[in-house]
Amino acid sequence: MAEAQHLDTPQYDAVVIGAGFAGLYQLHCLREMGLATTVFEAGSNVGGTWYWNRYPGARTDSPSNVYQFLFTDKLVNQWHWSERFPSQAETERYLNWVADQLDLRSDIQFNQRVDSAVWSAENACWIITTESGAQTSARFVISCMGPLSKPVLPSFKGSEAFEGIIVHTSQWPQQDIELAGRRVAVIGTGATGIQVVQTIAAEVQQLTVFQRTANYTIPMKNYPYAESEPLQVDGAQLLQRTRQTFGGFDFDIEHRLWAEVDPAERRATMERLWSEGNLALWVGSFAEQLMEAEANEAVSEFVRQKIRARINDPELEQKLVPTDHGFGTHRVPLETGYYEAYARDNVQLIDANEEPILHLTPTSIVTAHQEIPVDVIICATGFDAVTGALTNIDVRGRDNRSLADLWGKDVRTAMGMQVHGFPNLFITSSPLSPAGAFCNAPTCVQHSVEWISECIGYVQNRGSAIEATAEFEAQWVAHHDETANATLIAKTPSWYTGANIEGKSSRLIGYPGGIPAYVEACEQVKQNGYAGFSIS
């Protein structure tokens, strides 16, 4: 690591933060361009989301054909996925294999959490300091920390004296936690909580689930790929296809208009998409269902009926069937045996609104109605999504402006790629881009990384710094808001709107205009010599 006195000339061309999907590909691209690049990774290994989120039942909700790198034959069809929706362990193994195939490890510094990044206008470089106090400098910084990496942990009175284990799902220890035969509480029933509950219900002695909001779900159709018949894809074709579909999958939205399709045909379409056992009913259906209340209610009721059919207890039905928001306005989880878990004698579902947790004792959770003995409390309570990872770092741009202060008041970006006032800082999985929330992650990661790499290549021959102009950023924010405000998602509180974090600026965090429109906007900027960005 560089000595502080040498920081006035950049030690690296680029520093990448994070070694998950985005960071690995970003390192590969920049190295291929001949740029001296290093990656800082807080974990002890590669994997990002798939390194940290090792909770029971963690697996992708995207099928393996599109949840992988498709940019090179060196990787495509060389890794044999064992099932349609791979587990955390398999996805983590895959990313380790990618790191080895592309020989990336020598340029990754593990156990290095970045503490601050400060722009030096004088030297046109970033000074990066890690938690250990070590410093280096780089011309460019690329944030590859993923949209969901800063956990939100509830605070409970009495937690210091609790003698059991309290763990957030994204901080699950490497050595695992023994749950068999223990009394476990799960707090939260988003995509994560649902996976945990359905996985551990049969194994634990007693399971108590605290639910604040019931979610719509779709049954996952998972199946193994035989070793004799591994999944085979045409990488180049599939990569192109994923950039032409609304959600970055290999299926697109329904292009017929809701109003022009008769009710029987709408129903048949919903049934067909439902039976796919993936996210097609959410991001591969009629566009109107996420924009118009009537269409949304029709599909919401369709899903409610499906859920009701799985529950034989009226009290449970009332708790588990969502009625306070429309289908798809929250992230729709895929599930396997989730509702059946609640039919077990050892599982209790508590409505956390009606019966909140009052405090903990050394051995129990106390609510308004009961004391529940517990050994392990699993917080599936979500994340300070999309902005949290970067605002956790003291990022100072031109004139010492703080990114955390700026985003604390108003979350803004220029196409998600940059923020005005922060030259040479690029962001992947960023606010106001689809990658932040509405995209099959590897699709958008590959696209963003390629755009950023080409942009850096362009700047290198023309100057030392690039920065989004205030005008272009304002234009993008206005376009984003117009697109977002046409959706029901923006009108429904969730992590998509920042509503899960008190005081967080409320703007739909991801661009909901679809991948093709976003890719085209990025392409136009590039074709026009990075119009909207100034190079100095």
CA separation for the pair 230, 523 (Å, rounded): 35
CA separation for the pair 357, 371 (Å, rounded): 10
Neighbour tally for 523: CB within 10 Å: 12
Number of residues in contact with ligand NAP, rule: CB under 6 A? 24
Residue nearer to ligand NAP on the CB measure, 270 or 352:
352
Based on the shown chain and the rule CB under 6 A, indicate whether residue 352 belongs to the binding site for ligand NAP. Answer: yes
Residue nearer to ligand NAP on the CB measure, 185 or 270:
185
Hey, which bits of 431-517 come out as E strands? Answer: 466-468
Residue nearer to ligand NAP on the CB measure, 382 or 397:
382
Instruction: Report the residue from 65, 136, 189, 198 that binds ligand NAP according to the rule CB under 6 A.
Output: 189
What character string, x for contact with ligand NAP (CB under 6 A) and - otherwise, covers 269-308? ----------------------------------------
Provide the minimum distance between the beta carbon of 172 and ligand NAP in the complex, in angstroms, as a whole number: 12
Based on the shown chain and the rule CB under 6 A, indicate whether residue 190 belongs to the binding site for ligand NAP. Answer: yes
Neighbour tally for 87: CB within 10 Å: 17
Residue nearer to ligand NAP on the CB measure, 140 or 172:
172
Provide the minimum distance between the beta carbon of 536 and ligand NAP in the complex, in angstroms, as a whole number: 38
Based on the shown chain and the rule CB under 6 A, indicate whether residue 498 belongs to the binding site for ligand NAP. Answer: no
At 130, give phi and psi (nearest 5°): -95, 170
Provide the minimum distance between the beta carbon of 466 and ligand NAP in the complex, in angstroms, as a whole number: 31
CA separation for the pair 142, 430 (Å, rounded): 11
* H-state helical runs in 386-440: 388-391, 403-409
Provide the minimum distance between the beta carbon of 344 and ligand NAP in the complex, in angstroms, as a whole number: 20
* SS3 sequence of 310-354: CCCCHHHHHHHCCCCCCCCCCCCCEECCHHHHCCCCCEEEEECCC
Q: Residue 283: name the closest of 148, 438, 482 by CA.
A: 438
Touching ligand NAP, residues 5-64 (CB under 6 A): 59-61
Instruction: Report the residue from 93, 105, 113, 212 that binds ligand NAP according to the rule CB under 6 A.
Output: 212
Based on the shown chain and the rule CB under 6 A, indicate whether residue 86 belongs to the binding site for ligand NAP. Answer: no
Does residue 359 contact residue 370 with C-beta atoms inside 8 Å?
no
What character string, x for contact with ligand NAP (CB under 6 A) and - otherwise, covers 144-173? ----x-----x-------------------
**Stretch of 19-27, 281-289, 377-385, 463-471 lying at the interface with ligand NAP (CB under 6 A):** 377-385
Provide the minimum distance between the beta carbon of 67 and ligand NAP in the complex, in angstroms, as a whole number: 9
Provide the minimum distance between the beta carbon of 252 and ligand NAP in the complex, in angstroms, as a whole number: 20
DSSP structural state of residue 226? P
- Site of tokens 């026009």: 528
CA separation for the pair 18, 23 (Å, rounded): 5
What character string, x for contact with ligand NAP (CB under 6 A) and - otherwise, covers 326-345? -----x--------------
Residue nearer to ligand NAP on the CB measure, 193 or 421:
193
Based on the shown chain and the rule CB under 6 A, indicate whether residue 213 belongs to the binding site for ligand NAP. Answer: yes
Touching ligand NAP, residues 394-453 (CB under 6 A): none
Instruction: Report the residue from 495, 518, 530, 533 that binds ligand NAP according to the rule CB under 6 A.
Output: 495
**Stretch of 17-25, 380-388, 394-402, 482-490 lying at the interface with ligand NAP (CB under 6 A):** 380-388
**Stretch of 109-117, 181-189, 271-279, 367-375 lying at the interface with ligand NAP (CB under 6 A):** 181-189
- Site of tokens 């429904």: 492
**Stretch of 98-106, 208-216, 236-244, 517-525 lying at the interface with ligand NAP (CB under 6 A):** 208-216
Residue nearer to ligand NAP on the CB measure, 198 or 296:
198
User: Quick one: CA torsion of 92, 69, 447, 129, rounded to 10 degrees?
Assistant: 40
**Stretch of 298-306, 381-389, 393-401, 415-423 lying at the interface with ligand NAP (CB under 6 A):** 381-389
Based on the shown chain and the rule CB under 6 A, indicate whether residue 210 belongs to the binding site for ligand NAP. Answer: yes
Name 364's bridge partners: 373
* Residue 322, Ramachandran bin (φ over 0: left; ψ between -120 and 50: alpha; else beta): beta
Provide the minimum distance between the beta carbon of 214 and ligand NAP in the complex, in angstroms, as a whole number: 9
CA separation for the pair 232, 229 (Å, rounded): 8
Does residue 83 contact residue 231 with C-beta atoms inside 8 Å?
no
- The secondary structure of 120-142 as a DSSP string is ETTTTEEEEEETTS-EEEEEEEE
In Å, what is the CA distance from 14 to each residue of 120, 413, 445, 519? 14, 21, 18, 24
Reduce the DSSP state of residue 251 to 3 states and report it: coil
Residues making contact with ligand NAP (CB under 6 A): 59-61, 148, 154, 187-193, 195, 210, 212-213, 331, 352, 380-383, 495, 500
